[in-house]
Homo-oligomer: A and B are copies of this chain.
Amino acid sequence: MEILITNDDGWGAKGILTLVRILTQLGHVTVVAPDGPRSGMSNAISVQQPMYLRPLNDPNWGSEDWHSNATVYTTNGTPSDCVKLAIDVIFEGDPTRINLLASGINHGSNAGINVIYSGTMGACFVGAEHAIPSIGYSIDDHNPEADFSFFEPYILELTRHLLEEGMPYGVCYNINAPVGPLEGVRWTRQCRGFWQKEMEERTDDNGNKYYWLTGEFVNIEPEEEGTDIWAMTHHYISVHPCTIDQTAYAEI
Contacts and interface: CB of A to CB of B under 8 A. Distances in A.
B47 A252 contact: no
A31 B84 CA distance: 34
B51 A212 contact: yes
A223 interface: no
A161 to B, nearest CB: 13
A241 to B, nearest CB: 4
B252 A241 contact: yes
Interface stretch (A11-19, A59-67, A166-174, A176-184): A166-174
A117 interface: yes
Given A113-B244, A190-B246, A247-B242, A43 B43 contact: yes
Contact of A50 (B46, B113, B212): B212
Interface string A177-219: 0000000000111101011111101101000111111000000
Given A40-B46, A42-B80, A51-B213, 14 more contacts: A39-B47, A45-B117, A47-B213, A81-B213, A84-B195, A88-B197, A115-B246, A116-B244, A116-B246, A167-B251, A169-B192, A189-B245, A190-B246, A226-B252
Q: In the complex this chain forms, how many copies of it are found?
A: 2
Contacts of A209: 52-53
A88 to B, nearest CB: 4
> Across chains A and B, which 3 residue pairs bring their CB atoms closest together, nearest first?
A241-B251, A42-B43, A50-B210
Interface stretch (A21-29, A122-130, A150-158): A122-130
Nearest to A244: B116
Nearest to A54: B208
Contact of A204 (B41, B50, B171, B213): B50
25 contacts: A40-B47, A41-B44, A42-B42, A44-B117, A45-B213, A50-B202, A50-B210, A50-B211, A52-B210, A84-B198, A85-B199, A85-B211, A88-B197, A88-B211, A93-B196, A113-B244, A115-B246, A167-B251, A168-B251, A170-B192, A187-B251, A187-B252, A189-B249, A190-B247, A242-B247
